[in-house]
Structure 1
Amino acid sequence: MKSRLDQRFQSFKEQKRGGLITFITAGDPDPDTSARLLARLPAAGADIIELGMPFSDPMADGPAIQESSLRALKAGMTLRKTLKMVEDFRRNDQDTPIILMGYFNPIMAFGVDAFIAEAARVGVDGLILVDLPPEEDREVREPAAAAGMALIRLATPTTDAGRLPRVLENAAGFIYYVSIAGITGTAQAKPEIIDEALAAIRAAMHKTGNLPLAVGFGIKTADDVRRFTQSADAAVVGSAIVQEIKAHLDEEGRAKATLLDAVTDFVHSLAMGTRPQADDRS
């Protein structure tokens, strides 16, 4: 039986389109608003959802996502509450893949085996742990695979031909190509450079088994989504969505009444980039 992730990427092929992967931080700006936003994302056009696990030292993230993590922690969000958020989401949505994204430290503190068991129980489909390189991910990757979850590997502009086979070995779900060397939300690589990098990854995957490719960092508009899904299977948008959340907070960091509609409208606009141009004029 195919996983939710496999089924979703297969649907992109059948529909001859790219996919939209959206990121929000669990608990940002508060647990209730975040849960309500999560529930709205699929109807707004999110094909796959990355849910950030709040952490006090998100070293690979830019200012926007760092701030979202701190807002969530200040509002009382925890890893256990993040898992409960997924469980609540699954009561009404059994189809949309959810990937938990973050850092290894909170999982280590929770207990790896306990975390994997609970994540699988509530309906998590995959994990992205940005500080866990392939040489060190076995203790998460193997129990996750046994529980039906993919540990998704990252490739970057600094992943050269010598390093790439190690990244691809035992990879699962999809390969997330980080299009710039640096932190999230700060720049965007030239499309032609990304095209070349993705072609090199696809060529290398012939030896290890083909996986879908998603590209992220610096993608902010429907045009960006459309352009990058010409060579990737999906585009990831994170910082731009988190910035839209921040734009609808009051001076004390509380959600304004406009937040949910504004963010879902923004996600809908991004999703237009996964559809034929004619859809934009409808």
Structure 2
Amino acid sequence: MSRIAATFGRLKAEGRAALITFVEAFDPDRATSLSLLTGMARNGADIIEIGMPFTDPMADGPTIQLAGRRALHAGATVAGTLGLVREFRSGNDTLPLVLMGYLNPILSYGVARFTADAAAAGVDGLIVVDLPTEEADLMLADVKANGLDLIRLIAPTTSDERLPIVLKDSSGFVYYVSITGITGTSTASATDLARDIPRLRRATDLPIAVGFGVRTPEQAAIVARHADAAVVASALIDRMASGLEGGHASPAVIETVLADVAALARAMHAESVPA
């Protein structure tokens, strides 16, 4: 059983939803991103997404765009991101890691090489934002051969007719983009989730994670009442970026971000997954 499936199985038995946090690799430097990864695992994150910096992050809002720019200036590469995963795995072999990024760097690295190296490093799943189902054959065979989960994005505008097409060959969990827009700009309401999540559950047995706008413990708790996971990204990056001095994050800034993670985890632990 994959780490992702095992984690969702355990949380379902505990009656709670997963907290999925996000770290942009090498933002603002490698050491800080590693500290955040290890610290988030200690402070209640159930799954961590690692952003692979890219020069043209079309789905991301200003917060993650700037994080990617800082990371690229710090020397981030695909190989460097995988090295970060390997170092995290040397101290934590249980918490699932998902790489989130864009197709171009993967094609440049080589799909077969990338999927093999990612699996060997300890990656569990991939979210390739700009890889539509119709072009998934570019990666699918290599993803499956290396035991990785290919996690699909579903939008509020995805029709009932298209849902089975988008979800074909997906695994791990479904990432529900709860707003029509870019990351970190608005938040789905409880009414929106009560309407949308049941529609997705009719189309898939996979766990459903809600992202692209969850920022506060209160919002994460609302998601936990309706879905299987909440993804928090931009709010955590904003917290770190606001405390950077000379482009560097002090230990105090890192601890502030980790305190936010702990608060999100507490809020979600207080909610139960719907039966």
Amino acid corresponding to residue 225 of structure 1 in structure 2: A
Offset from partner CA, 1:143-179 (integer Å, 9 cap, x none): 1122110010010011011111101221111100000
Mapping of residues 120-269 of structure 1, within 5 Å: 120-205=119-204, 210-250=205-245, 252-269=246-263
SS of structure 1 residue aligned to 2:19:
strand
- Give the Å deviation of 1:142: 2.1
Distance (Å, rounded) in 1 between the aligned partners of 2:141 and 2:191: 36
Amino acid corresponding to residue 4 of structure 2 in structure 1: L
Mapping of residues 16-165 of structure 1, within 5 Å: 16-165=15-164
SS of structure 1 residue aligned to 2:23:
strand
SS of structure 2 residue aligned to 1:204:
coil
Contact 1:104/1:131, CA 8 A, preserved across alignment: yes
- Does structure 1 residue 6 correspond to structure 2 residue 1? no
Distance (Å, rounded) in 1 between the aligned partners of 2:65 and 2:135: 24
Contact 1:28/1:72, CA 8 A, preserved across alignment: yes
Contact 1:54/1:78, CA 8 A, preserved across alignment: yes
Which sits farther off after the overlay, 232-241 or 165-174?
165-174
Query: How many pairs are equivalent?
Result: 271
Q: Report runs of 4+ in structure 1 exceeding 3 Å deviation.
A: none
Amino acid corresponding to residue 189 of structure 1 in structure 2: A
- Does structure 1 residue 276 correspond to structure 2 residue 270? yes
Amino acid corresponding to residue 230 of structure 1 in structure 2: R
- Give the Å deviation of 1:195: 2.0
SS of structure 2 residue aligned to 1:54:
coil
Amino acid corresponding to residue 165 of structure 1 in structure 2: P
Distance (Å, rounded) in 1 between the aligned partners of 2:81 and 2:143: 17
Amino acid corresponding to residue 162 of structure 1 in structure 2: E
Offset from partner CA, 1:168-209 (integer Å, 9 cap, x none): 22111110000001100111122211221110111122xxxx
Amino acid corresponding to residue 226 of structure 1 in structure 2: A
* Aligned-pair Cα RMSD in Å: 1.0
- Give the Å deviation of 1:247: 1.3
- Give the Å deviation of 1:118: 0.3
Amino acid corresponding to residue 208 of structure 2 in structure 1: L
TM-score for both structures, normalised by structure 2: 0.96
Contact 1:51/1:98, CA 8 A, preserved across alignment: yes
Distance (Å, rounded) in 2 between the aligned partners of 1:33 and 1:165: 40
Amino acid corresponding to residue 262 of structure 2 in structure 1: H
Distance (Å, rounded) in 2 between the aligned partners of 1:10 and 1:270: 21
Offset from partner CA, 1:8-65 (integer Å, 9 cap, x none): 0001111101110001100001111111211111111110000000011101000000
Amino acid corresponding to residue 239 of structure 2 in structure 1: E
Distance (Å, rounded) in 2 between the aligned partners of 1:57 and 1:157: 23
Which runs of 5 or more structure 1 residues have no equivalent in the other structure? Answer: 278-282
- Give the Å deviation of 1:257: 3.5
Amino acid corresponding to residue 245 of structure 1 in structure 2: M
SS of structure 1 residue aligned to 2:65:
helix
Contact 1:141/1:150, CA 8 A, preserved across alignment: no
- Give the Å deviation of 1:256: 2.6
SS of structure 2 residue aligned to 1:230:
helix
SS of structure 2 residue aligned to 1:24:
strand
Contact 1:83/1:122, CA 8 A, preserved across alignment: yes
Distance (Å, rounded) in 1 between the aligned partners of 2:66 and 2:114: 25
Distance (Å, rounded) in 2 between the aligned partners of 1:126 and 1:253: 30
Distance (Å, rounded) in 1 between the aligned partners of 2:251 and 2:228: 35
Which residue of structure 2 aligns with residue 280 of structure 1? none
- Give the Å deviation of 1:98: 0.2
Distance (Å, rounded) in 2 between the aligned partners of 1:46 and 1:189: 21
